[in-house]
């Protein structure tokens, strides 16, 4: 296999160092499965990487292996990084996938259809640098569930703006050609969405073709071992690649303000007409956003995501965090005093 078949390009070639270039096909704690020109290899991060690198290998990464041992010594700079905030309280980043060109945001047209979740995934995609494509799966259920497919697609297009929106039926549509056509040969797509939206079904429909290709990779594996870590990177017909991510229950943002604002351009445009320049669109007098008739749930979602970003900003800026704590302490103290006076 040639490296270009796994997505190698000039961007990575320029960073090539001593050792063997490889792409991470699966990553689970310390266990990695990587693809090299010679085949699939089980590898581990080296001590130097563990203690000296700001980057930890994620699926999709390009890495350099030692010549003599399957140890990952370096992670090459990423072209794109798909991240979320690590679930739990800490404000830290969890990289879901690296070097993704196209992000397929999969939504089921049954109970799963949720415009607010789509808005959130779109922010994630924008922040990552990947092109978002929304797949509205289970389109075959339109009649049974009594929804107007065209209307839902139009509504989603209005919300998604520059993102492509494709209705799909993984169960009945024998050709997933429209999906595959979105990704050029050598490019990498990733599939993200809640559990049950049909990600595995979509993958399985492509199975016939990529089974042959992946077994070719296996044949080149001189260790002849079987993968214990579930592989997440697959080759698609036509020469593109696909990263399958498990269903994510929680998608907290790891993003900057611009990524959120870009998803809500109309709010920025309307804000120019608000009476106050620093209007937060939370009920101030003369607020052009509130009086525009904008969908209240969309506006609430915008506020929610902005609050998440403010939290992240505070956590990464100790001085801001201290000021916020001091402010709330003063407010609570004042409240206690006023209760006592009462």
- Binding residue (CB under 6 A) for ligand GDP from 71, 91, 141, 153: 141
Nearest residue by C-beta to ligand GDP?
Answer: 198
Question: For ligand GDP, which stretch binds (CB under 6 A), given 40-48, 94-102, 193-201, 263-271?
Answer: 193-201
197 contacts ligand GDP (rule: CB under 6 A): yes
Closer to ligand GDP by Cβ: residue 5 or 201: 201
Closer to ligand GDP by Cβ: residue 199 or 281: 199
179 contacts ligand GDP (rule: CB under 6 A): no
80 contacts ligand GDP (rule: CB under 6 A): no
Closest CA to 221 of 95, 39, 21: 39
Closer to ligand GDP by Cβ: residue 36 or 156: 156
Question: For ligand GDP, which stretch binds (CB under 6 A), given 112-120, 127-135, 190-198, 300-308?
Answer: 190-198
Instruction: Say if residue 142 is exposed, middle or buried (CB neighbours under 10 Å; 0-12, 13-18, 19+).
Output: middle
Question: For ligand GDP, which stretch binds (CB under 6 A), given 71-79, 86-94, 163-171, 224-232?
Answer: 163-171
Q: What is the CA radius of gyration of the chain?
A: 23
Question: For ligand GDP, which stretch binds (CB under 6 A), given 8-16, 58-66, 120-128, 188-196?
Answer: 188-196
Position of tokens 């199975």? Answer: 207
Task: Compute how many residues bind ligand GDP; rule: CB under 6 A.
Answer: 16
170 contacts ligand GDP (rule: CB under 6 A): yes
**To the nearest whole angstrom, how small is the minimum distance from the Cβ of residue 198 to ligand GDP?**
3
Closer to ligand GDP by Cβ: residue 118 or 290: 118
- Binding residue (CB under 6 A) for ligand GDP from 74, 138, 281, 306: 138
**To the nearest whole angstrom, how small is the minimum distance from the Cβ of residue 116 to ligand GDP?**
19
Question: For ligand GDP, which stretch binds (CB under 6 A), given 117-125, 164-172, 208-216, 273-281?
Answer: 164-172
- The site for ligand GDP (CB under 6 A) is made up of 137-138, 140-141, 169-171, 193, 195-201, 247
């Amino acid at each position: 296999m040639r490296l270009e078949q796994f997505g190698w390009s000039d961007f990575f070639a320029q960073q090539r160092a001593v050792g063997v270039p490889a792409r991470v096909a699966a990553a689970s704690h310390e266990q990695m499965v990587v693809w090299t020109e010679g085949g699939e290899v089980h590898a581990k991060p080296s001590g130097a990487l563990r203690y000296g690198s700001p980057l930890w290998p994620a699926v999709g990464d390009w890495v350099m292996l030692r010549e003599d041992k399957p140890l990952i010594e370096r992670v090459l700079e990423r072209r794109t990084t798909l991240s979320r905030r690590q679930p739990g309280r800490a404000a830290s980043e969890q990289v879901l996938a690296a070097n993704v060109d196209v992000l397929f945001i999969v939504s089921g047209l049954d109970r799963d259809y949720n415009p607010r979740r789509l808005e959130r995934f779109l922010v994630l995609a924008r922040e990552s640098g990947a092109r978002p494509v929304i797949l509205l799966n289970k389109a075959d259920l339109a009649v049974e569930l009594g929804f107007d497919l065209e209307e839902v697609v139009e509504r989603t297009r209005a919300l998604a703006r520059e993102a492509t929106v494709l209705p799909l039926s993984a169960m009945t549509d024998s050709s997933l050609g429209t999906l595959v056509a979105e990704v050029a040969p050598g490019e990498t797509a990733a599939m993200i969405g809640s559990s049950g939206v049909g990600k595995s079904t979509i993958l399985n429909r492509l199975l016939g073709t990529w089974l042959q290709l992946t077994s070719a990779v296996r044949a080149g594996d001189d260790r002849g071992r079987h993968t214990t870590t579930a592989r997440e990177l697959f080759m698609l017909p036509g020469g593109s690649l696909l990263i399958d991510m498990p269903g994510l229950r929680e998608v907290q943002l790891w993003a900057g303000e611009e990524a959120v604002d870009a998803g809500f351009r109309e709010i920025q445009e309307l804000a120019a007409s608000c009476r106050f320049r620093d209007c937060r669109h939370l009920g101030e007098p003369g607020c052009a956003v509130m009086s525009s008739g904008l969908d209240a749930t969309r506006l609430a979602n915008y506020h929610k995501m902005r609050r998440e970003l403010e939290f992240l900003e505070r956590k990464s800026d100790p001085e801001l965090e201290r000021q916020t704590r001091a402010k709330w302490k003063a407010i609570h103290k004042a409240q206690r005093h006023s209760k006592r006076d009462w």
